[in-house]
Structure 1
Amino acid sequence: MIILIFFLAHWFLSLFFQTFFLHRYASHKMFTTHKVNERIFHMLTFICQGSSYLNPRAYAIMHREHHAYSDTEKDPHSPYFFRDVFQMMWRTAQSYKLYEKRLKEPDAKFAGNYPEWRLLDFWGSTYVSRILFGIGYIAFYIAFATHWWMFLLLPIHFMMGPIHGAIVNWCGHKYGYANFDNGDKSKNSIPLDFLMLGELFQNNHHKRPNNSNFAAKWFEFDPVYPVMKVMHWVRIIKLRKPLAG
């Protein structure tokens, strides 16, 4: 039971900060917040993603490219240009590293207006940081695992961020239904997206990329949006009014 709780906590906390901080804030600036709060969110993203920490700058640049070139050859991770999800993940990782290591500069229209914390982003991307988190996960399992098969969950802990990204980018552009014709192949994979915290409403999101609520129809539910509304009401963040379109 302890291992299951730990696994689910890591899954949903990592995913929450990926969608809330990296996606909705760093990439789209769906809300504004005080610099102190931004630093807190940045640190929590590092802690919760752990060994698979994703640099907000690199994430934001690639995600903006994805929207601009959705499902074309310039899309950094469209499933329609790869044999399988593993090839897509490998190519995505290569593109990500170029921006994370600053070996490539983005087009001007994709640059800027994303959170940067040079020291934390550098440390979080080092092998030392990733290995230390990995050792921590292994130690926790050694202490609390009651069956051998539980250790099979460890690779998911190690690669949590990329796994979340792969599920969204692959399934969200291949499987499901579409509410809107966006000129791409984006889909809403399921109407009640609890497992991926609303990220699989890709068709809705590509239609309204500035809207903090990824649900569009009455039967759809984005579980992160109510959390953001509460944070807005208590003035931790300030939700921006979505642009028309």
Structure 2
Amino acid sequence: MIILFFFLAHWFLSLFFQTFFLHRYASHKMFKMNAAWEKVFYFCTFMFQGSSFLNPRAYAIMHRMHHAYSDTEKDPHSPHFIKDVFGLMWKTKEIYLSYQRYKLEPEPQFIDRYPTWKFVDRVGDHWITRVGFGVFYTAFYVMFATHWWMFLLLPIHFLMGPIHGAIVNWCGHKYGYSNFDNDDHSKNTLPFDFLMMGELFQNNHHKRPNDANFAKRWFEFDPTYPVMKLLHLMRIIKLRKV
């Protein structure tokens, strides 16, 4: 029970900060927040993604490219030009690292107001930090795992951020239904998207990329949006009007 709680906590906390901070804030600027709160959410993204921390600048550049070139050869992670999900993850990693390490300059249209924090970026990407988080996850399992098969979950902890991205980019552009014709292959995979906290409403999101609520029909539910509404009411963030 302890291992299950730990796994689910890591899964959903890592996923929340990926969709809330990296996707909806860093990439799309769906809401505003002051500098202090930006630092809080930046640090929480680092802590809860842990060994798979994703640099907000590199993430934002790649995601903006994904919208501009959705499901074309210039899309950094379209499943329609790659034979399997492992190839998609590898290609995404290569492009991500080229921006994260400033080896490649993005096109001017993708350079715009993404959050940066050099100290956290440097610490989060250091191999000692990533290994340290991995050692922590492993030690927790050694202490609390009651069956051998539980250790099979450890690779998911190590690569949590990229795994979330692979699920969204692969499934969200191959499987499901469409509400809109977006001239791409984006799909809504799950009408009740608790598993990925709204990220699998890809067809809706590609239709209205700056709308904070990814659900568009009566039977759809984006669980991240009510959290954002609450933070808006608490004046921690200010949602954009769309």
What TM-score do you get using the length of structure 2 for normalisation?
0.99
Give the Cα–Cα distance (whole angstroms) in 2 for the partners of residues 127 and 65 of structure 1: 27
Root mean square deviation of aligned Cα: 0.4
Give the Cα–Cα distance (whole angstroms) in 2 for the partners of residues 36 and 43 of structure 1: 11
Return the offset for 1:65. 0.0
Give the Cα–Cα distance (whole angstroms) in 1 for the partners of residues 119 and 108 of structure 2: 24
Give the Cα–Cα distance (whole angstroms) in 1 for the partners of residues 76 and 155 of structure 2: 24
| 1:47-126 pair list within 5 angstroms | 47-126=47-126
Give the Cα–Cα distance (whole angstroms) in 1 for the partners of residues 112 and 124 of structure 2: 20
Give the Cα–Cα distance (whole angstroms) in 2 for the partners of residues 152 and 57 of structure 1: 32
Equivalent position SS for 2:238: strand
What corresponds to 1:176 in structure 2?
176
What corresponds to 1:220 in structure 2?
220
**Cα-to-partner distance string for 1:158-202 (whole Å, 9 max, x where unaligned):** 000000000000000000000000010000001000000000000
Query: Which structure 2 segments of 5+ residues have no match?
Result: none
Return the offset for 1:112. 2.4
Aligned residues: 242
Give the Cα–Cα distance (whole angstroms) in 1 for the partners of residues 234 and 81 of structure 2: 44
What corresponds to 1:34 in structure 2?
34
Task: List, as ranges, runs of 4+ consecutive aligned residues in structure 1 with deviation greater than 2 Å.
Answer: none
What corresponds to 2:128 in structure 1?
128
What corresponds to 1:237 in structure 2?
237
Give the residue type in structure 2 aligned to 1:55.
N
What corresponds to 2:153 in structure 1?
153
**Cα-to-partner distance string for 1:124-162 (whole Å, 9 max, x where unaligned):** 011111000000000100111111111000000000000
70-79 vs 117-126, greater mean Cα deviation: 117-126
Equivalent position SS for 2:143: helix
The alignment-based identity, stated in percent, is 69
Query: Which structure 1 segments of 5+ residues have no match?
Result: none
Give the Cα–Cα distance (whole angstroms) in 2 for the partners of residues 105 and 63 of structure 1: 15
**Cα-to-partner distance string for 1:79-119 (whole Å, 9 max, x where unaligned):** 00001000010000000000010111101110120000011
Return the offset for 1:123. 1.0
